[in-house]
C-alpha cells in the first residue's frame, strides 16, 4: 500500500461558486442554510494498524510512500505535520506517537473531547529528526486501551536543490550553475533562428551537465528522476532524466516538438530552463537565458510594437523599463497605417514574463475603427510591470480578423524590467465570517482562495496550522481542483469543532500550495480564534535549572521538586496539579489536586515528582505541565511544558582520530596527502569514541573550505564496530585535495533524546606537496629546452595527486607577448583517461618572436574547487627558448593519393583536398593537424567548391553514374548526398560568393549549368555561349560574372547568361584565380601549363582585357591571391617551387622551395597560411606567409 497524497484530513466538501458572490450558493452540500447536510456520513474508521500517515506537503513518488523536499521541511517552523485520522476504539488517554527511524519523534495523549468529536491527531516532527539524502522509516504507534502500530512507511528526504547554489548573487534569478541552452543544429545555434523547415521533426537541444561547477558537492548533481523544464516564450517542454543520463557527463538531448513551436510567440523569445528533482526541490533560479527567434509563421508578420517609456543602457546593450520611475500605467505603441489593418479588426496585445513564482501574462484588446491612424497606444498596467522586476517583459500583438482562421502576429519586443521587487506569490486565502478580525464559533468555517491566475485543473492544497494556548500543534488541510465553475473563488470549508475549537484563545495561519509547488506557497493570513488568551507558563524546578533543565540523580538524591509560580488565572478555591510524562516509560503520572485555599492563594504551589519515575526515564525526558480547574467543572486549562532531561548529561571529552595522520599534540595531527592517494588506499579513516547508546545518531562533521573541502558524511547509529570501542567513518580522500599547506577541523555530534552534543575538535594540518610531486609541466615537443615555432607545440601537465575531472586548470605563457593558454578550464573525463592535460599552443602566438626569445610557462590547478589562482596548487615553471628551423614550410599533413585541388573554410579551421590518383576527399582539421579521407564515386575528381557558411562541399567527377555526377559531402558528419539534376560527367565547378548559386560545366559540352544551392533546384544554363569542355571556372568577388578557361579565357554575365568576352590562350589553361574584393587592381590570373606561363587580364568595368604574360614558369598548375597583401602565388609542378608575384608591379618577386610536385594551392581567409598540394608525396604543405 503506497502513500495517497490526496488522502488528507477529512472535511466536508465545499460547493463551487458559479458567480462572484461572497458566499457559496444556498442549498448545496455544506451550505449553512441546510445544516442537516453537515451531518453527512463520516469516513469509515479503520483500526489503528490500517491507518495511512497523512504527511503535510509530501510529494508523490510512484512505487514509494512519497518524499519530502526542502520546502516541505521548512514551510512550518515547528516541523513536519503528520496526522492520524480517528481510529476504531480510539480512547481517552491513548498515547499516539510517531517513530522516525525507530526513534520516537513526537507524541500526543488523546483527550476526552478528541474522542467525543472524532478529532484527528496531529503530531509535529522536528525536521532535524530526518536523515537527509536517504529513505527514512516512519511508523505510527498507539499505547492504551488498544495498543498497536501502523505499517512502516518509507519516505525519501532530500533537502538539496538540483544544480546547487547560484554562484553569482548579483544576477538575481539567473543561476550560472545552469548552463545556457544549446541547439544541436549548428545553423540554429549560430544564427539563433528557428524557421518552419527546422520544426518538422522537432528541434533538438542540449542541456549541459549541472551544476556547471562540477566541484560542487555531488548531492546537487544531475540525478535519475530529475525533470528538466525548458521554457521558451512561456511554452514549457519537459524531460525526465534517465539512469543512463544521470550516470553520464554528456549533455541531455531533448526535443522541442513541432506543436510546442506552433504555440510559441512568433519572433524573439527568451529560452531558459530549470530543474526539479523527484521530491520536488526546484533549482535556485533559472539557467543563463538566451534569445531565440521563432520564424515558423508561414505568412507575413506585423511590425513590432514598442513600449513608449523604455530606455536604453549602452553599457550593457540592453533595452529596459524602470518600474520605479513611473506612477501611472505605461503605453505600448502599435502602428496601424500601412500595416494592413481594416475596420472591425481587433488588436490583441499580450504581455508576458517568467518570474520565480511562475509565468505571468496579461492581455489587452482594442477594436480597430480607424485603420488610417498612424499608431495607437495600448495600456500596459504598471502593476503588471512591477511584478516583473528582475526579469524580462515580452510584448507582442496580434491582428484578429472575423472569418480568418489564424491571427496575424507581430514581431516581439523584449525589455529588462528594473526597480524594486514586489511579492509575486499567490494572494492569501480569505477567511469568511470574521468579527473584528477574529474567528467566532461558526460552523462550518469557509475559506476562499482567489481565482486570479489559477487555471482549470490546478490542484489547490489549503492548509491550516496553529498552536493551542498550551503549545500543542493543530493541523488540517484539504485539496480541491479548479473547475470552470470557479470564476472568482475556490471555496473550502472546515468544521469548527474539529479544527478551530482547540485554537480558541490562540490563532491559526492559512495558506495554500498550487500543484504541489511547496517551494512557492501563497501569501498567508493569520487569524485569531475567540478571545486571545495568554498561555499558562510552564512549571519550574530548582532541581532542573535552566538552561539545560537536567535532573542529575548524582546531585539530587530525593524526589524532583516542581513549583507552579503564582499566576492570575488561578482563582481562590481552584484546584491545581502537575502531570509528569516519561519519554521512555510512555506513561503519564499526575500528582494529587492541590486546593488553592487562603493558605496558598497568591503563593508558589509546591509539588514533588517521584524519583522512581525519573530514574525509570534515565537518558530520556520527563515532561511536566500543570493543570487548573474550577470545581465543580472538570474542564481544565493546561500550561506550557517543562521538559526535564534525566540523567547525567552526555559528556564528549575526546576528539576524533585520523588513522592515516601523525599526532602532533592533543587534538592536532599532521597528514601527508600522499598517504591517502595511490599507491595507498584513497580513503581517510576517522574514528570516534564516547559512551555509546544504540539509539544515538552520530554525525562526523568536517569544517573548512566550502564545497569540495566539506563532504557531507552520512550519520551512523551509536553502535561500536564489532570487537572495538569506536565507530569508524571511512570516506574518500578527494576532499583532502582542498587543503595541502592548510588545515581543517573535524568533530562529531551525538543526537540523543532530541539533544545534540558536540565533541572537541581535531585540527588536521595537511602537509604541502613535495616540489618534485608537482614537477609535471612541460612542452613535450621542445628539444633541449628549445621550441621550434614553425611546428605544432603544446603544454602538457601529467596526472598529479587527486587528479580527477572537474578541477579547473590554468596555463599562462609569459614572454614579449603573454598568453592565457588555458583559462581555469575543468579537467575533462577524456583527459583523466589519458592521464594528462594537453593544450595546443596557437602557432600564431610565436609569429613575431625573434629567435632566442625566452618563454616562461606556468600552470596551476584549483584543487579546492574555488577556481582561482590565489588558492591553487602551482606546478613547476618551464623556461624555454624560441628558435626557428630553416625554411618557410611549417609542416606537412598526410592526405589521400595525389592531392590536386584544395579549398579552405572561411573560419580557417578546415581544409578540403580533392585527390587525383585515387578519387577521394581529404578533410584536414587544422586544430589538431589531422586529416580524414573518404573515397568517392567516379574515377576522376575535377574540382571543388566549399560553401562559405555551411558544411557542404560540392565537387565534380567523371566516371560516376549519371545520377551521382555532382556529389555533396557534408564535412561535419562525412555523409554524401547526390542530387540528380545534370545527368552527365562534370568538370569545372564553383560557387558564387554568397554560396547561393553553383555553376557546373561538363568535359565536352558548351554549357555552364546553374544550380540554386539554397532550394537545390536546377535553374537553367548559359547555353551555347561557352567553349567546349571548360577546365575551370571562377566568379568575380562581386558575384556579377564568372570566367571560364580552356583553350580560351571567357567572361559570362551571370544574370543575363550571355558571354561578353573571349580571348584565345594559344594553349590549354588549367587553373585561374581572381583578385580579392578590395585589391587595388581587378585582375584575373590564368595558368597555361603547356606554355609555361601565367596570363594576366584586367576585369575592371565588366571587361576582360589582356594585360601581360609571366613566362618561363616550370609547368604552372595552380594560382591563388593573398586575401590582404598585394601578392599572388603560383605552383611550379616541374621545379617543386611556389613562385611569388607582386600584384602591384605584376612581376615575379620571389620563390618558396621544398615542395614535391605542387599542384593546387589556397590561402587562409586571415592571410596567415598558404596550403599547397604536394602531388608527389601525398601531403599538404602548410606555409607561413
Q: For 19-33, how does the pLDDT look when each residue is reduced to its tens digit (9 = 90+)? A: 333 444 333 223 333
Q: What is the pLDDT of residues 394-450, one digit of tens each?
A: 898 989 999 888 888 888 888 999 988 887 788 999 999 998 888 999 989 999 999
Predicted local distance difference test score (pLDDT) of residue 36: 27
- Report the C-alpha gap between 569 and 1141 in whole angstroms: 111
Rg from Cα positions in the chain: 41
Asked if 166 and 193 count as a contact pair (C-beta separation under 8 A), the reply is: no
Of 768 and 532, the structure prediction assigns the larger pLDDT to 768
Confidence of residue 533 (pLDDT cuts 50, 70, 90): low
How far is it, in rounded angstroms, from Cα 796 to Cα 227?
39
Looking at every residue in the chain, the average pLDDT score rounds to: 88
As a whole-number percent, the residues of the chain with pLDDT over 70 amount to: 95
CA angle 233, 235, 241 (to 5 degrees): 115
pLDDT score, position 166: 66
Q: 103 vs 1, 131, 158, 437, 715, CA distance in Å? A: 23, 12, 20, 42, 14
Q: What does the pLDDT average to over 901-919? A: 93
Average pLDDT over residues 460-478: 87
The torsion angle over the Cα atoms of residues 1171, 1174, 1179 and 1184, rounded to 10 degrees, is -30
* pLDDT over 90 at 632, yes or no: no
Nearest to 380 by CA among 359, 394, 398, 401: 394
Q: From CA 173, how far away is CA 180, in angstroms rounded?
A: 14
In degrees and rounded to multiples of 5, residue 268 shows phi and psi of -75, 135
- For residue 973, give the DSSP letter: T
Q: Residue 620 — pLDDT band, cuts 50, 70, 90?
A: confident
Whether residue 444 is preceded by a cis peptide bond, meaning omega within 30 degrees of 0, is: yes
Instruction: Say if residue 18's pLDDT is above 50.
Output: no
Give the pLDDT of residue 43.
Answer: 61
Give the model confidence (pLDDT) of 972-981 as tens digits: 999 999 886 7
Per-residue model confidence (pLDDT) at position 1023: 55
pLDDT of residue 24: 45
> What string of DSSP letters covers 111-124?
PHHHHHHT--EEEE
**E-only strand ranges, 634-706:** 636-638, 642-646, 657-658, 662-665, 668-671, 683-688, 697-703
What is the reported pLDDT for 225? 92
pLDDT above 50: residue 385:
yes
Exposure on the CB side of residue 512, measured as CA atoms within 13 A? 26
Q: Are 700 and 746 in contact (CB under 8 A)?
A: yes
Q: What is the pLDDT at residue 357?
A: 67
| pLDDT above 90: residue 1036 | yes
Q: What is the pLDDT of residues 713-751, one digit of tens each?
A: 989 999 999 999 999 999 999 999 999 999 999 999 998
Q: Under the phi-then-psi rule, with left for phi > 0, alpha for psi from -120 to 50, and beta for the rest, what region is 285?
A: left
Distance between CA atoms of residues 1183 and 885, nearest Å: 13
What number is the average pLDDT over the span 1034-1041? 94
> CB of 904 within 8 A of CB of 1164?
yes
Q: What is the pLDDT of residue 128?
A: 84
- pLDDT for 1025: 63
Give the full edge-to-edge strand order of the sheet including 1048-1053. Answer: 1032-1035, 1041-1045, 1048-1053, 1058-1064
What per-residue confidence (pLDDT) applies to 735?
93
CA–CA gap between residue 647 and residue 753 (Å, rounded):
11
Instruction: State the pLDDT at residue 215.
Output: 75
Q: Is the pLDDT of residue 277 over 90?
A: yes
The secondary structure element, H or E, covering residue 187 is helix 186-191
Span of 167-181, 303-317, 662-676, 1030-1044 with lowest mean pLDDT: 167-181
pTM over 0.75: no
**Do 583 and 601 touch, CB atoms closer than 8 A?**
no
Which band of pLDDT confidence, cut at 50, 70 and 90, is reported for residue 37? very low
Comparing 44 with 808, which gets the higher pLDDT?
808
* Per-residue pLDDT tens digits for 673-719: 999 998 898 899 999 999 998 888 999 999 999 888 999 898 999 99
Residue 947, pLDDT above cutoff 70:
yes
CA-to-CA distance for 493 and 14, rounded, in angstroms? 6
Between 934 and 13, residue with greater pLDDT: 934
The reported pLDDT for the residue numbered 1143 is 95
Closest CA to 1143 of 1159, 1163, 1157: 1163
Percent of the chain as helix, strand, coil, to the nearest 5: 10, 40, 50
Q: What is the per-residue DSSP string for 431-472?
A: ETT-BTTBB-S-SSEEEEEE-TT--TT-EEEEEEEEE-TTS-
pLDDT at 666 over 50: yes
Tens-place pLDDT, residues 137-187: 999 999 987 889 999 999 999 999 998 876 655 566 788 889 999 999 988
For the chain, the first-to-last Cα distance in angstroms comes to: 77
Amino acid at each position: 500500500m503506497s502513500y495517497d497524497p490526496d488522502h488528507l484530513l477529512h472535511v466536508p466538501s465545499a460547493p463551487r461558486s458559479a458567480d462572484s458572490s461572497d458566499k457559496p450558493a444556498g442549498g448545496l452540500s455544506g451550505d449553512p442554510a441546510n445544516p442537516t447536510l453537515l451531518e453527512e456520513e463520516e469516513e469509515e474508521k479503520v483500526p489503528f494498524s490500517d491507518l495511512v500517515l497523512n504527511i503535510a506537503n509530501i510529494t508523490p513518488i510512484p512505487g514509494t510512500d512519497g518524499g519530502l523536499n526542502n520546502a516541505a521541511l521548512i514551510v512550518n517552523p515547528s516541523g513536519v505535520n503528520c496526522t492520524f485520522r480517528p481510529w476504531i476504539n480510539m480512547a481517552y488517554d491513548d498515547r499516539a506517537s510517531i517513530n522516525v527511524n525507530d526513534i520516537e519523534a513526537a507524541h500526543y495523549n488523546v483527550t476526552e473531547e478528541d474522542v467525543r468529536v472524532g478529532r484527528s491527531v496531529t503530531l509535529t516532527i522536528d525536521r532535524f529528526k530526518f536523515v537527509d539524502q536517504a529513505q527514512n522509516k516512519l511508523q505510527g504507534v498507539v499505547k492504551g486501551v488498544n495498543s498497536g502500530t501502523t505499517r512502516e512507511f518509507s519516505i525519501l528526504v532530500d533537502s538539496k536543490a538540483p544544480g546547487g547554489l547560484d554562484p553569482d548573487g548579483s544576477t538575481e534569478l539567473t543561476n550560472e550553475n545552469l548552463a545556457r541552452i544549446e541547439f544541436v543544429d549548428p545553423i540554429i545555434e549560430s544564427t539563433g533562428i528557428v524557421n518552419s523547415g527546422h520544426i518538422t521533426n522537432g528541434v533538438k537541444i542540449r542541456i549541459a551537465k549541472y551544476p556547471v561547477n562540477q566541484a560542487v558537492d555531488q548531492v546537487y548533481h544531475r540525478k535519475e528522476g530529475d525533470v528538466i523544464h525548458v521554457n521558451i516564450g512561456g511554452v514549457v517542454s519537459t524531460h525526465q532524466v534517465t539512469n543512463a543520463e544521470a550516470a553520464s557527463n554528456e549533455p541531455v538531448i531533448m526535443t522541442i516538438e513541432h506543436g510546442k513551436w506552433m504555440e510559441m510567440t512568433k519572433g524573439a523569445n527568451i529560452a531558459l530552463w530549470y530543474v526539479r528533482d523527484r521530491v520536488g526541490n526546484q533549482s535556485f533560479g533559472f539557467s543563463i537565458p538566451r534569445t531565440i527567434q521563432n520564424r515558423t509563421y508561414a505568412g507575413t508578420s506585423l511590425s513590432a510594437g514598442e513600449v513608449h517609456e523604455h530606455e536604453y543602457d549602452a553599457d550593457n546593450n540592453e533595452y529596459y523599463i524602470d518600474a520605479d520611475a513611473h506612477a501611472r500605467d505605461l503605453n505600448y505603441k502599435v502602428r496601424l497605417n500601412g500595416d494592413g489593418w481594416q475596420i472591425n479588426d481587433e488588436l490583441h496585445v499580450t504581455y508576458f514574463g517568467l518570474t520565480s513564482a511562475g509565468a505571468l501574462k496579461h492581455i489587452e484588446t482594442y477594436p480597430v475603427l480607424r485603420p488610417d491612424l498612424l499608431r495607437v497606444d495600448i495600456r500596459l498596467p504598471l502593476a503588471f510591470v512591477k511584478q516583473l522586476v528582475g526579469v524580462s517583459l515580452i510584448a507582442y500583438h496580434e491582428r484578429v480578423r472575423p472569418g480568418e482562421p489564424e491571427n496575424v502576429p507581430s514581431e516581439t519586443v523584449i525589455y529588462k524590467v528594473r526597480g524594486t521587487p514586489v511579492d509575486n506569490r499567490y494572494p492569501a486565502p480569505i477567511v469568511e465570517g470574521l468579527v473584528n478580525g477574529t474567528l467566532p464559533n461558526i460552523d462550518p468555517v469557509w475559506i476562499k482562495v482567489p481565482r486570479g491566475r489559477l487555471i482549470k485543473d490546478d490542484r489547490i492544497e489549503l492548509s491550516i496550522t496553529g498552536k493551542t494556548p498550551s503549545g500543542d500543534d493543530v493541523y488540517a488541510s484539504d485539496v480541491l481542483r479548479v473547475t470552470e465553475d470557479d470564476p472568482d473563488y475556490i471555496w473550502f470549508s472546515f468544521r469548527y469543532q474539529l479544527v478551530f475549537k482547540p485554537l480558541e484563545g490562540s490563532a491559526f495561519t492559512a495558506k495554500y500550495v498550487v500543484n504541489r509547488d511547496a517551494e512557492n506557497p501563497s501569501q498567508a493570513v493569520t487569524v485569531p480564534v475567540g478571545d486571545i488568551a495568554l498561555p499558562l507558563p510552564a512549571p519550574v524546578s530548582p532541581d532542573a535549572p535552566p538552561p539545560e533543565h537536567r535532573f542529575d540523580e548524582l546531585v539530587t538524591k530525593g524526589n524532583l521538586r516542581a513549583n507552579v509560580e503564582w499566576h492570575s488565572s488561578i482563582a481562590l478555591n481552584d484546584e491545581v496539579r502537575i502531570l509528569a510524562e516519561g519519554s521512555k516509560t510512555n506513561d503519564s503520572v499526575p500528582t494529587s489536586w492541590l486546593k488553592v485555599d487562603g493558605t496558598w492563594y497568591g503563593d508558589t504551589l509546591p509539588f514533588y515528582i517521584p524519583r522512581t519515575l525519573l530514574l525509570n526515564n534515565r537518558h530520556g525526558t520527563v515532561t511536566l505541565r500543570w493543570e487548573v480547574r474550577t470545581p465543580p467543572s472538570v474542564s481544565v486549562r493546561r500550561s506550557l511544558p517543562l521538559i526535564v532531561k534525566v540523567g547525567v548529561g552526555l559528556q564528549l571529552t575526546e576528539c576524533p582520530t585520523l588513522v592515516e595522520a601523525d599526532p602532533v599534540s592533543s587534538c592536532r595531527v599532521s597528514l601527508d596527502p600522499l598517504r591517502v592517494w595511490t599507491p595507498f588506499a584513497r580513503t581517510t579513516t576517522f574514528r570516534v569514541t564516547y559512551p555509546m547508546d544504540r539509539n544515538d545518531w552520530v554525525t562526523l562533521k568536517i569544517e573548512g573550505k566550502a564545497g569540495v573541502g566539506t563532504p557531507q558524511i552520512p550519520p551512523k547509529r551509536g553502535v561500536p564496530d564489532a570487537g572495538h570501542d569506536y565507530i569508524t567513518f571511512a570516506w574518500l580522500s578527494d576532499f583532502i585535495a582542498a587543503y595541502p599547506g592548510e588545515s581543517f577541523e573535524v568533530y562529531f555530534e551525538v543526537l540523543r533524546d532530541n539533544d545534540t552534543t558536540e565533541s572537541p575538535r581535531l585540527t588536521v594540518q595537511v602537509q604541502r606537496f613535495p616540489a618534485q610531486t608537482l614537477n609535471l609541466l612541460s612542452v613535450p615537443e621542445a628539444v633541449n629546452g628549445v621550441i621550434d615555432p614553425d611546428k605544432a607545440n603544446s603544454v602538457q601537465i601529467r596526472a598529479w595527486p587527486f587528479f580527477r575531472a572537474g578541477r579547473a586548470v590554468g596555463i599562462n605563457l609569459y614572454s614579449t607577448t603573454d598568453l592565457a593558454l588555458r583559462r581555469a578550464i575543468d579537467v575533462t573525463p577524456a583527459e583523466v583517461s589519458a592521464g594528462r592535460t594537453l593544450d595546443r599552443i596557437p602557432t600564431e602566438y610565436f609569429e613575431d618572436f625573434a629567435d632566442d626569445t625566452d618563454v616562461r610557462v606556468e600552470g596551476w590547478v584549483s584543487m579546492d574547487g574555488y577556481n582561482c589562482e590565489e588558492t591553487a596548487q602551482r606546478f613547476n615553471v618551464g623556461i624555454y627558448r624560441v628558435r626557428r628551423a630553416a625554411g618557410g614550410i611549417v609542416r606537412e599533413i598526410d592526405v589521400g593519393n595525389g592531392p590536386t585541388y584544395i579549398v579552405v573554410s572561411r573560419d580557417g579551421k578546415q581544409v578540403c583536398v580533392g585527390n587525383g590518383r585515387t578519387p577521394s576527399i581529404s578533410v584536414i582539421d587544422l586544430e589538431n593537424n589531422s586529416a580524414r579521407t573518404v573515397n568517392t564515386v567516379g574515377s576522376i575528381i575535377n574540382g571543388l567548391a566549399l560553401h562559405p557558411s555551411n558544411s557542404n562541399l560540392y565537387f565534380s567527377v567523371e566516371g560516376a553514374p549519371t545520377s551521382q555526377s555532382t556529389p555533396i559531402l557534408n564535412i561535419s558528419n562525412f555523409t554524401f548526398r547526390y542530387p540528380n539534376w545534370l545527368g552527365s560527367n562534370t568538370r569545372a565547378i564553383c560557387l558564387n560568393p554568397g554560396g547561393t548559386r553553383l555553376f557546373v560545366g561538363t568535359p565536352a559540352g558548351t554549357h555552364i549549368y546553374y544550380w540554386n544551392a539554397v532550394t537545390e533546384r536546377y535553374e537553367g544554363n548559359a547555353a551555347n555561349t561557352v567553349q567546349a569542355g571548360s577546365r575551370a571556372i571562377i566568379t568575380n568577388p562581386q558575384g556579377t560574372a564568372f570566367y571560364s578557361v580552356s583553350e580560351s579565357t571567357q567572361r559570362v554575365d551571370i544574370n543575363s547568361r550571355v558571354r561578353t568576352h573571349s580571348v584565345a590562350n594559344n594553349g590549354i589553361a588549367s587553373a585561374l584565380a581572381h583578385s580579392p574584393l578590395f585589391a587595388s587592381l581587378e585582375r584575373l590570373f590564368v595558368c597555361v601549363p603547356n606554355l609555361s606561363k601565367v596570363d594576366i587580364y584586367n576585369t575592371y568595368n565588366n571587361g576582360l582585357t589582356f594585360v601581360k604574360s609571366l613566362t618561363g614558369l616550370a609547368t604552372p598548375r595552380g594560382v591563388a591571391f593573398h586575401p590582404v597583401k598585394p601578392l599572388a602565388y603560383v605552383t611550379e609542378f616541374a621545379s617543386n617551387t611556389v613562385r611569388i608575384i607582386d600584384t602591384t608591379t605584376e612581376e615575379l618577386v620571389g620563390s618558396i622551395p621544398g615542395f614535391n610536385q605542387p599542384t593546387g594551392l589556397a590561402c587562409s581567409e586571415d592571410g596567415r597560411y598558404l596550403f599547397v598540394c604536394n602531388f608527389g608525396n601525398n601531403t599538404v604543405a602548410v606555409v607561413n606567409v
